[in-house]
Amino acid sequence: MTDIRYRTTAVDGLKIAYREAGTKGAQKLLLLHGFPTSGHMFRDLIPLLADRYHIIAPDLPGFGQSDDPVTNSFDSIAQTIDRFTEIVGFDRYAVYVFDYGAPTGLRLAVKHPERITAIISQNGNAYEEGLSEGWNPIQAYWQNATEENRNALKAFLRPETTAWQYMHGVADPDRVSPDGYSLDNFYLSRPGAEAVQLDLMGDYKSNVALYPAFQDYFRTHRPRFLAVWGKNDPFFLPPGAQAFARDIPDAVIKFFDTGHFALETHADEIAAAIRDFLG
């Protein structure tokens, strides 16, 4: 049995919840989740890696058991996670980024390139060609922040939409545990959660604006890079994964026949790819 600890720490007045496993002194691996989940999404992956790596998986501000961000923006989230890594002693680490975790982790990489030993992107986008038509309602809100366009985004917060995100593109839906999307829906129902999530959808345009900076970081620093991608993702398309090789010629790109939440069905395969990649 893997010894996983469930901890909290204070980061500039915010409570940040996190999971920790593995042996201190081993190679460090930071796991950053996405919308609308939490560190719980790594429940299957952590036991498969904890024998070799020192793993920490925080709940991002506004998600899971963590407090809401200081401001509902990705800059604010990244600043808090940056301070969090310093508090927990992650001075040099590989980072696994998924969905919202990608613009968070890539902000850290741009700010502190010397701290990043490798990047693993699981459906974590950094190229405009990776954005599907599923982003159209959100992009409409970026272009015209009316109340009508904001209200349209509430469809992304419905329980049935969360379940759909887990199921879409999965060959055998019976392999998807209801625990993940049920817990996500519980957190989405908390008081104040709707405003946080709608604000972050609006602020996602700041991530797209940073894509050129992320790509410049890739070209300049050539980090060790692994993409493990659910190829049937309705939000982040395979061309977004393939684009990493344009800026990092040695990038390793692997596709799996599953959807957005690839760990729900392919944790074993993704863990094996990570172990082979990180060594």
**Catalytic machinery residues:** 260
Contact 77, 12 (CB under 8 A): no
Backbone phi, psi, residue 134, to 5°? -60, -20
Q: What residues contact residue 119 under an 8 Å CB cut-off, 6+ apart?
A: 94, 95, 97, 105, 106, 109, 223, 224, 225, 226
Question: Is-cis flag, bond preceding 61, omega within 30?
Answer: no
How far apart are alpha carbons 64 and 194 in whole angstroms?
14
How far apart are alpha carbons 2 and 228 in whole angstroms?
24
Structure tokens, 253: 């790109």
